[in-house]
Chain A
């Protein structure tokens, strides 16, 4: 049996394209700010031609068939580029769903027998839904790529070294310390020690959610490297629950100067640099009101 719907699609290709474009233009989600109508037309035409050209009796109900590879490829590239341009999933989804609508409308106009129409519609429905799923999959993949890139960027920017006093630098660490991050932290810290000629470096870990053996090992390495540079390193911001956990884990941090707050770390550094910071005595002034 020669599939009737394929014949109809091939014959009515131009009409389907027009219908599809009208549907897309009607859609609220149309983003004229992101893509011009001409570009949209080119994208739609490319996809529709490849879909209709590859449709055959044997594969119409098998969207996984290798004949559809080009279709999936075009869909993927469209949805990935849309994900990166900042389209919402709804806007991307309506692109493929409106094609389904156009196809089904054409079918219902051309086929007179309700039973056959129903059967054909179900087949088309299934195939197009599977394409829609493929679209979403690639759309999410596109978004994940964006997220991964942002993660890398965050690692780069989130390690500021602050010079808090002449000869003292502080580095607040926020988030998880993994190997890549430790490398960045260590590099920034050692560089800052050279540039500011500091003698004391304070590592504040108040923003580190959990200290496990790997994080501890990274901290110990950073401290050793700082010492090799001739500076002393103080770790501050150790919360009570972190202290208990570290002890239970059996990590030995006793050869490192640790303080619970940045304030006490700063006090210790002042003492080490023989600095005396005192409150200025206010000269007693007598206010006389005339």
Chain B
């Protein structure tokens, strides 16, 4: 689904929650997933000027999970390593969004190219 304005954040979070409930994720992991998703969606709105999010349900042996792919066509991140450090921010925020989300998720992948945009993929397993 596409995220263009701040009003899209709440419906998006509810959608993620729906999927998480559907695969039977525990309340703790649900909250972690939703919080992480909400961090990235806010980043996308603030720095990337909006973009699209893909929600996918994954399954592997005896476990299932949710993969979210955030894609924007914004300015990109010049120094990804620096952006992943706690407390680094170019906006006026706490600088915890990216590193914090990484800690909340099972898998975290970031691809960013200056001038082209940023793609972040996160996976949260049901029992992870």
Contacts and interface: CB of A to CB of B under 8 A. Distances in A.
B34 to A, nearest CB: 5
A251 B96 contact: yes
Contacts of A251: 94, 96, 100
Interface stretch (B25-33, B49-57, B73-81, B106-114): B25-33
A250 B94 CA distance: 10
Nearest to B28: A241
Contacts of A214: 39, 42, 93
B100 A248 contact: yes
Interface in A21-67: none
Given A241-B31, A249-B103, A216 B94 contact: yes
Nearest to B31: A241
B94 A210 contact: no
B47 to A, nearest CB: 13
Nearest to B14: A209
Contacts of B13: 209-210
A238 to B, nearest CB: 12
Given A148-B7, A176-B9, A245 B97 contact: no
Interface string B9-38: 110010000000000000110111011001
B99 interface: yes
Chain A interface secondary structure, helix, strand, loop or mixed? Answer: helix
Contacts of A211: 35
A210 B34 CA distance: 7
A286 interface: no
Nearest to A251: B96
Contact of B94 (A217, A241, A242, A248): A217
A113 interface: no
Interface residues of A, number: 21
Nearest to B40: A212
B63 interface: no
B104 interface: yes
Given A214-B93, A217-B94, A248 B27 contact: no
A242 B34 CA distance: 11
A210 B31 contact: yes
Contacts of A210: 13, 31, 34-35, 38
Given A178-B9, A241-B30, 11 more contacts: A151-B7, A209-B34, A213-B94, A213-B100, A216-B94, A244-B28, A245-B31, A248-B100, A248-B103, A249-B39, A251-B100
28 contacts: A148-B7, A176-B9, A176-B10, A178-B9, A209-B34, A210-B13, A210-B31, A210-B34, A212-B35, A212-B38, A212-B39, A212-B42, A213-B94, A214-B39, A214-B42, A241-B27, A241-B31, A242-B31, A244-B28, A244-B31, A244-B32, A249-B96, A249-B103, A249-B104, A250-B96, A250-B100, A250-B103, A251-B96
Interface of B: 6-7, 9-10, 13, 27-28, 30-32, 34-35, 38-39, 42, 86, 93-94, 96-97, 99-101, 103-104
